[in-house]
Chain A
Amino acid sequence: MTDTAPRELPLQELDEVIIRFAGDSGDGMQLTGDQFTSISAALGNDLATLPEFPAEIRAPQGTLAGVSAFQVRISDFAITTPGDAPTVLVVMNPAALKAQLHNLVQGGAIIVNTDAFTERNIEKAGYKSNPLDDGTLDNYRNYPVPMGQITRDAVAEHGVKPRDAERSKNFFALGLISWMYTRPVEPTMEFINTKFRGKELVIKANEAAFKAGYNFGETAEIFEAHYEIKPAPLASGEYTNVNGNTALAWGLVAAGVLARLPTFLGSYPITPASDILHELSTMKNFGVRTFQAEDEIAAAASAVGAAFGGALAFTTTSGPGLALKGETLGLAVSLELPMVIVDVQRGGPSTGLPTKPEQADLLMAMYGRHSESPMPIVAAKSPSHCFDAAIEACRIALKYRTPVMLLSDNALANSSEPWLLPDVDSLPDIGVDFQTEFNGTNEDGDGIYLPYLRDEETLARPWAIPGTPGLMHRVGGIEKEDGSGNISYDPENHQKMVNVRQAKVDGIDVPDVEVMGDQDADFCFLSWGSTWGAVDAATARLQKAGHKVAYVHLVHLNPFPSNLGEVLGKFKKVLCPEMNAGQLDKLVRAKYLIDVQGAHKMNGVPYTTAEIEAAALETLRV
């Protein structure tokens, strides 16, 4: 610590900042970003985050493949995306600089850990000369900070070995950024003490590193100012910061509570869906039974078995796993049992880009099964919306006795946002009754159970579970006679069953779409899934620039809301941006014969607001 009186630096007000922390996977960048997010959330900023992990668990240190990054946007106004390009880049080593510099806006600030720029590291990152002094950073505001050295000095008095001291340098960076954006010190001190409870030395080292970073900003005379971002005018209430996978897991468990049913998850680990399995595995006190199956086929099959037994059953996966589940889902369609299949989409085909988002499983969700096997599809639009989407998927599954596909993607799974917590008591009751009585009579007038006798309104079949006296029955994948459920190869019956399975899905009660933005616009975006945020933000920007723009966002992709065709038909131009090569646009064109234009992006990076804005401007121009 220093006893020099702090200089009085000007405090500037900003409406937002987008910071990207980047370092080696071992540098603790996710932790740093998470903690910065938490402090900012508590200050009342609106925020959105975008973590970026390497696909390898332990990529060689100092290499481009090992770079891990975390982008956080904080603002004093409502936002829906983590921001296009960072305005501040914190880099811990040359590889991080090399991998991330292109993201930074021109003129943006780089806070760089100069100690890591050794000849060896520079070479490992693929630089021919030291980028810190060869002109590479000419178009940016460069703040060189020997983070390693200062951290080592700061923690030395606590008896931490120099090698271990290095590990605290992410807290130095966090301290420095906390000073820059006038974040309070206390919450991070508390965080350090809880996170590292029992490891006194680590606590001391991290505290010292954090304070050193904070003080460095104040005293080092390399910064011109520090900044303040006022709270955003968020609706009042209690908030938490949640990512999509957690919200989705909580939504599934909530659905079990709302349906008063035991829940079951059959799953096989796969990035980026595994965290849902992990989360549900910690919620056994809710009566959640989790089953880590031997593969995705068994995972889906176990869910079918559990559903037959009367559980609210789920299976969670990503694209390659969904491909494996296909045949089993055909059985679920035929058995007309409720279950929810979660696909957290990632880049493909095959292993593809396992840690990057894509929306290219929509057609697989829609059609990726043998024969005519219609299945409702619900897609989440933001991290916190994963909670509502999960409950909605379960509601449909239970009410209509059908498997339901719930789509998320890697952009939602790991990104987080503040979530105004719902009042648990106001969540919908999605419970349904099991069949416990006969629902028909045979020729002799005796009561019998007809497992495929349908509810006239919903076309749902009754759900009688084993253990119910008198209602013993057999179900199976062979075509069944409508009503009795007995095996039937009768041609007319099969036609009827194909039609009725389709009619049941078509008749699902799906809320109408709402037109957002200018109701009288000629131009309309059509979006689904995680592109919602960027589309919403692009709409606002275009409106600000004087364009009349509307958007329609779909949460239900099968069946479509019944007013969709009519709504879209009113616009002269409809543009559908998707992280695929054109899937929703195909479905909408085929169904409504509306000339939907597509905008496509498949580079593993979510759409930026600017890209969507540009695509719109291009469409408006033609």
Chain B
Amino acid sequence: MTDTSTRTGPADWATDQEVRWCPGCGDYSILTAMRMLMPELDVDREKTVFVSGIGCAARFPYYMNTYGMHGIHGRAPAIASGLAMARPDLDIWVIGGDGDMLSIGGNHLIHALRRNVNLKVLMFNNMIYGLTKGQFSPTSETGKVTKSSPMGSLDHPFNPISIALGAEATFVARTHDMDRKHMMETFRRAHEHKGASFVEVFQNCNVFNDGAWEGITKKQNRDANLIQLHHGQPIKFGAEGEFGVIIDNGSAKVVSVSDVAESSLLVHDENKEDPSTAFMLSRLARGPFEPTPVGIFRAVERTEYAASATQQLAVAQDQKGPGDLAAILRSRGTWTV
């Protein structure tokens, strides 16, 4: 088969299925970013698979003209792990919401990440259960009033980036649905990475949690509250780059650059083996109302799982020769009557 990717455009990656998200939903812009990115990547549609769980976000595979599986709630990382093991030649994306990946599927997510299975995991975080019509999710803020928490939710929220780093994911990034270019760049990097990539996408659910990310993602708030992480550069933000991030007493802190020496600013190193600094960065903001880093937190190399599994098959063949059924049936000793 010739490589068709160079000749495709975004439309070739779209299916004929009607997209059924609510008008104005942030999922649309993520889909557009993905469809625009795909022709730029050196991949074939038939070698690409989108696997998802259940939720609004998880409808994604139906809209990509690739192979796809809309699975069951929370289990997409596990389904995709089996697929990746059986078919290391495929390019597999895993899509799900914050409930899908951190609530019912939290276990599968962390295990896929720690094993470093070659999957690109995108978690659309709208801090709410969209598909089931608006209950609080594991990323909703404490006190969130929803139909299932009329007096405010009691749950302390998860920080997805902290979780991924805690699971020692080898690629951890964050982007948001208001910035297509940033999404495309982040997805591109996730795709380049060998092993498991985890990308949190801030996504607006305009029906059940409208404006949840506005405090940081709205155009006029971005300068003050979005911190772009650039590898090898001091972490600075603000309209004039007047703010910066330092590490002080074991945590990341926002400072005015004028108050500190430029040299004391934290220089971002996404390749740092030790995830501690990345973790500190992930703790910088307590919620979407104060300066929040986006970009790549961590990108390190570690042996990829399915490749290692394939390697073991080769070693076994070297050691024992190709499987011989007649021989295996006789391996425990035989006698003749």
Interface pair A285/B78, CB less than 8 Å apart: no
A contacts with B, residue count (CB < 8 A): 70
With contacts A44-B337, A240-B329, A308-B83 taken as known, whether A474 is within 8 angstroms of B111 at the C-beta atoms is: no
Binary A-proximity of B191-235 (CB < 8 A = 1, otherwise 0): 000000000000000000000000000000000000000000000
Would A240 and B333 count as touching, CB distance under 8 A?
yes
**B86→A476 contact, CB < 8 A:** no
Task: Give the number of residue pairs across the A-B interface with Cβ within 8 Å.
Answer: 204
| A291 and B81 within 8 A (CB) | yes
> Quick one: which of A38, A231, A330, A466 contacts B67, CB cutoff 8 A?
A466
Cα(A240)–Cα(B327), bound, Å: 12
Scan residues 185-237 of chain A and give those whose CB is less than 8 A from a CB of chain B.
Answer: 231, 234-237
Asked if B325 and A253 make an inter-chain contact with CB atoms under 8 angstroms apart, the answer reads yes
Q: Are B336 and A238 in contact (CB under 8 A)?
A: yes
Considering the complex, which residues of chain B in the window 1-45 have a beta carbon less than 8 Å from any beta carbon of chain A? 1, 15, 17, 44-45
Within 8 Å of chain B (Cβ to Cβ): is A10?
Answer: no
Q: Is B83 a contact of A283 with CB atoms below 8 Å? A: no
Question: How far is B72's CA from A242's CA once the two chains are assembled, in angstroms?
Answer: 39
Closest B residue to A254 using CB positions: B325
Contacts of B330 in A (CB 8 A): 238, 240, 421
List which B299-337 residues lie within 8 A (CB) of chain A.
Answer: 309, 312-313, 315-317, 319-323, 325-326, 328-330, 332-337
A472 on the interface (CB 8 Å rule)?
yes
Question: How far is B1's CA from A470's CA once the two chains are assembled, in angstroms?
Answer: 10
Q: A41-B335, A44-B337, A331-B71 are in contact. Are A424 and B326 (CB under 8 A)?
A: yes
Contacting pair A466 B334 (CB below 8 A) = no
CA distance A285 to B313 in the complex (A): 6
Say whether B337 contacts A298, CB under 8 Å: no
The verdict on A289 contacting B329 (CB below 8 Å), with A239-B337, A475-B68 known, is no
Instruction: Compute how far the CA of A235 lies from the CA of B61 in the bound complex, rounded to whole angstroms.
Output: 57
B125 touches A (CB below 8 Å): no
Question: A240-B332, A313-B82, A467-B87 known; A289 and B66 CB under 8 Å?
Answer: no
B78 touches A239 (CB 8 A): no
Asked whether A477 is an interface residue with its Cβ less than 8 Å from the other chain, the reply is: yes
- Min CB gap A596→B, angstroms: 37
Select which of A285, A294, A306, A472 is within 8 A of B83 by beta carbon.
A306
Contacting residue for A305 out of B83, B111, B316, CB 8 A? B83
Cβ A38 vs Cβ B62 within 8 A: no
The answer to whether A466 touches B90, judged by C-beta atoms less than 8 angstroms apart, is yes
* Inter-chain contacts of B72 with A (CB < 8 A): 301, 327-328, 330-331, 477
Does B337 contact A472, Cβ atoms closer than 8 Å? no
A241 x B332 contact (CB < 8 A): yes
In the bound complex, residues from chain A placing their C-beta under 8 Å from that of B108 are 294, 297-298, 301
Q: Which residues of B contact A471 (CB under 8 A)?
A: 46
Q: Which residues of A contact B90 (CB under 8 A)?
A: 309, 466-467
Does more than half of chain A's interface fall in helix, strand or loop, or is it mixed?
Answer: mixed
Determine whether A487 belongs to the interface, using a CB cutoff of 8 Å to chain B: yes
Indicate if the CB atoms of A285 and B317 lie closer than 8 Å. yes
Min distance, Cβ B302 to any Cβ of chain A, angstroms: 18
A476, B72: Cα distance in complex, Å: 8
CA distance A65 to B315 in the complex (A): 42
A311, CB-defined interface residue at 8 Å: yes
Query: Which residues of B have CB within 8 Å of A294?
Result: 78, 107-108, 111
Cβ of A293 within 8 Å of any chain B Cβ, yes or no, is yes
User: B118 in the interface, Cβ–Cβ < 8 Å?
Assistant: no
A335-B66 Cα distance, complex, nearest whole Å: 17
Known contacts: A297-B75, A302-B79. The answer to whether A472 contacts B328 by CB under 8 A is: no
A285-B316, A476-B61, A477-B70 known; A302 vs B78 contact (CB < 8 Å)? yes
CB distance from A281 to the nearest CB of B (A): 10
Asked if B285 CB lies within 8 Å of chain A CBs, one says: no
Q: Residue A304 at the B interface, CB < 8 A?
A: yes
Most B-side CB within 10 Å, residue of A266, A284, A293, A468:
A284
Checking A287, A305, A466 against B47 with a beta-carbon cut-off of 8 angstroms, the contacting residue is: A466
Say if the beta carbon of B89 comes within 8 Å of chain A: yes
Q: Which residues on the B side are within 8 Å of A242 (C-beta)?
A: 332
Say whether A270 faces chain B, with CB atoms less than 8 Å apart: no
Inter-subunit contact A42/B335 (CB<8 Å): yes
- In the docked arrangement, what's the CA distance between A254 and B327, Å? 12
Judge whether A474 and B47 touch: CB under 8 Å: no
Contact A239 B335 (CB under 8 A): yes
B70 touches A472 (CB 8 A): no
Known: A306-B83, A424-B326. Is A301-B46 also a contact (CB below 8 A)?
no
Choice from A246, A287, A304, A331 contacting B82 with Cβ under 8 Å: A304
A605 at the interface (CB under 8 A from B): no
B85 contacts A by Cβ under 8 Å: yes
A478 at the interface (CB under 8 A from B): yes
In contact, A291 and B337 (Cβ under 8 angstroms):
no
Q: Does B139 contact A (CB under 8 A)?
A: no
Docked CA distance A472–B4 (Å): 14
Kindly supply a per-residue 1/0 record for chain A positions 99-128, scoring 1 wherever the CB is within 8 Å of any chain B CB and 0 otherwise: 000000000000000000000000000000
- Say whether B321 contacts A285, CB under 8 Å: yes
- The winner among A264, A294, A470, A477 for most chain B CB atoms within 10 A is A294
Q: Tell me if A607 is interfacial: C-beta within 8 Å of chain B.
A: no
Q: Whose C-beta in chain B lies nearest to the C-beta of A312?
A: B86
Q: Are B69 and A309 in contact (CB under 8 A)?
A: no
Say whether B323 contacts A298, CB under 8 Å.
Answer: no
CA distance A242 to B107 in the complex (A): 37
Q: Assess A284 versus B313: contact at CB under 8 Å? Given A235-B337, A254-B325, A468-B46.
A: yes
B51 at the interface (CB under 8 A from A): yes
Shortest C-beta distance, B42 to chain A (Å), equals 16
Q: Which of B309, B317, B329, B336 gathers the greatest number of chain A CB atoms within 10 Å?
A: B329
Q: Is B47 within 8 A of A476, CB to CB?
A: no
* B263 smallest CB distance to A (angstroms): 45
A367 within 8 A of B: no
B49 contacts partner chain A, Cβ-Cβ < 8 Å: yes
Contact, CB under 8 Å: B82 / A474:
no
Query: Chain B contacts of A466 at CB under 8 A?
Result: 46-49, 67, 83, 87, 90
Contact of A239 among B62, B312, B336 (CB under 8 A): B336
In angstroms, how far is the closest chain B Cβ from the Cβ of A430? Answer: 13
Contact A305 B334, CB 8 Å, known A285-B317, A331-B72:
no
Give Cα distance in the complex from A199 to B48, angstroms: 54
Which residues from A are CB-within-8-Å of B321?
285
- Is the CB of B65 closer than 8 A to any CB of chain A? yes
Beyond A240-B330, A289-B313, whether A301 also contacts B337 by CB under 8 A is: no
B165 at interface, CB cutoff 8 A: no
* B80 contacts partner chain A, Cβ-Cβ < 8 Å: yes
Q: Which residues from 19 to 42 on chain A have a C-beta closer than 8 Å to any C-beta of chain B? A: 38, 41-42
Q: Is A149's CB within 8 Å of the partner chain B?
A: no
**Minimum CB–CB distance for A441 against chain B, Å:** 14
Most chain B beta-carbon contacts within 10 A, residue among A237, A327, A331, A474:
A474
Expressed in whole angstroms, the minimum distance between the Cβ of A63 and any Cβ of chain B is 33
Q: Are B67 and A298 in contact (CB under 8 A)?
A: no
Q: Is the CB of B334 within 8 A of A239?
A: yes
Residues of B within 8 A of A613 (CB): none
Residues of A close to B317: CB separation below 8 A: 284-285
Provide 23 A-B residue pairs closer than 8 Å at the C-beta atoms, listed in order of the A residue.
A239-B336, A239-B337, A240-B334, A242-B332, A250-B329, A257-B323, A284-B312, A284-B316, A286-B323, A291-B309, A305-B69, A305-B79, A305-B80, A309-B87, A313-B86, A421-B334, A424-B326, A466-B48, A466-B49, A469-B1, A472-B45, A473-B67, A474-B62
A-B pairs, top 10 by smallest CB distance, nearest first, are A476-B70, A302-B82, A286-B323, A305-B82, A305-B83, A284-B316, A298-B78, A301-B78, A306-B86, A474-B68
Contacts beyond the supplied A44-B335, A424-B329: 11 A-B pairs with Cβ under 8 Å: A239-B335, A283-B323, A284-B312, A301-B78, A301-B79, A305-B84, A424-B325, A467-B87, A467-B90, A477-B54, A487-B17
Interface residues of chain A, those whose CB is within 8 Å of chain B, are 38, 41-42, 44, 231, 234-242, 246, 250, 253-254, 257, 262, 264, 266, 283-289, 291, 293-295, 297-298, 301-306, 308-311, 313, 327-328, 330-331, 335, 421-422, 424, 465-478, 486-487
